[in-house]
Structures are given as structure tokens and as C-alpha cells.
Amino acid sequence: MPELPCLYLADQAHLPYGPRSSDEIRQLCVGATQALLDQGARLIVIACNTASAAALEHLRASFPALPFVGMEPAVKPAALHTRSGVVGLMATRGTLQGALLRNTAARFAGHVEIVASDCPGLAEAIENEADDLAAQLRGHLQPMLARGADTLVLGCTHYPLAIDLIRQIVGPDVHVIDPSPAIARQVERLWNGPRSGAPDRFASTARPEHLGNFLRQRFQTDSTVESWVWHNNTLISPASCLPSP
């Protein structure tokens, strides 16, 4: 949907979300949502499994007029696809401990074995293109393969950025599920705003130059990245005024 105007906000000041408490994540998500609303957002994708697990229902209750599209590990299609009956799941601790995953697994994957890894530090390694990224991935993937997993769920939105390397490690007989296409289809179903073709905007709460370099290298997108700042639990965009002390 390249014709949809998109504002991408990277809360790099609080990376990673995985080890943070649910209360803290909910507070961050409320602040980010309000800032995006102030910029005219009509629909919000929570492009983080950990944030979705901790805050999706809270956000829907707090902003009832605003449609949200959340992420959850794709264990339902994995359970339908597996032939061995063993599904590998790469996710953060917050996602694995969340009720969203437990409920989905109980409803749709009770007949399969889920071999999960909370992958500490992997999101940061992908973000920073660490030299030992392949070794880290092998450390998480080999135990799943040894248990007979023939289907792999990428349960963090960083992980698809390394999907080619992951596929090299697991081999052609393991089906790797990236949830991104399903998320895009849900956005298209829910979107009722204009399709203006307005330019995309990008913002970071900590490292705008890092995000700008990443966009140029990975997506050949030469866009200026806006710097947004947290101030007393309020996220301030350039078009906003700092609140009084």
C-alpha cells in the first residue's frame, strides 16, 4: 500500500522493550500513541510483539475511537503448516510471558509442541548488524532443529530483517513464517482514510542518524529522520511545544 501516508516512529530511547515491565511498556505506548495522534494518525500499527502483548488491550480501551493493529506470534498458521508437529518460536521474554501468546497457543496450537527461545540480545544484534549475528542465530536455532522443528515463527519485528540469514541456517526444509504480510492485509481492511500518496515520515526518540543510515542501506530511502524527545513521560514531536515544567 505505497499510496498510504505513513509515519514511522522508532522508540530507540527505550530499546529493547523485551526486558521491561508490562506497566512501563503500557506507559510508553500510551505516550507514543498520543504523540502520533497529535500528528494526525488515523490508525496505529504496534510493530512490536512485546508491546502488543503488554499494551494492545490497554490501548484499545484508552483510545476507543482509534483502530489498532497488533502483532502476535503466528502460532496458528504454524500449527496448521507443521508436518513434524514441532514448531520453533523466536521471541522476546515479554512476548513469551504475555497472555496474548498463551491464549493463541491454547486455542490453535494445543496439538503441537512449541520450542521457544527468548533470544536475549538478538534484537540489538540485528539493529546494530553485529559481527557475531550468525553465531547468535545458530545458538537459538540449533536446539529447535534438534527437537525436529520444521516450522519457525519469527516473533519479533526485528527478526525478519535477518530472514535470509535465518533461512540459510535452518535450510530449505524448514518453513519460516514472517507475520508482516498478514499485518499489511489487516491494515488494508481497516483503513478508511485518504490514499494521498503523501511522503512517508520517519522519527526516532534517540538515534535519528542511525535510523537514517539504516533506511538508506536497507531500503534505499533517503529521508530526513525527525528527532522526537521524551519529557516527563510525554513524547514531544518537533511540531509540539514543550509542556511547562
Mean pLDDT of 32-45: 95
The whole-number pLDDT of residue 5 equals: 86
- Domain 75-178 matching CATH 3.40.50.1860: the answer reads yes
Look at residue 241 and tell me whether its pLDDT is greater than 80: no
Of 126, 132, 104, give the one whose Cα is nearest residue 116: 104
pLDDT at 214: 86
Q: What's the rounded Cα separation, in Å, for the pair 180 and 214? A: 19
243 upstream amide cis, omega within 30 of 0: no
> Could you read off the pLDDT of 42-92 as tens digits, one per residue?
999 999 988 998 999 999 999 999 999 999 889 999 999 999 999 999 998
- How far is residue 30's CA from residue 198's CA, in Å, rounded to a whole number? 26
Instruction: Assess whether the region 7-71+182-236 and the region 75-178 belong to the same CATH fold.
Output: yes
Domain ranges of the chain: 7-71+182-236, 75-178
Cell of 196: 494521498
CB 115 within 8 A of CB 150: no
What is the mean pLDDT of the segment spanning 216-236? 90
Which CATH number, 3.40.640.10, 3.30.930.10, 3.40.50.1860, 3.30.390.50, labels domain 7-71+182-236?
A: 3.40.50.1860
Strands (E), the chain: 7-10, 44-45, 68-69, 86-91, 113-117, 151-155, 175-177, 201-204, 225-227, 229-231, 234-236
- Residues with active-site annotation: 48, 156
For residue 21, the number of C-alpha atoms closer than 13 Å in the C-beta half-sphere is 3
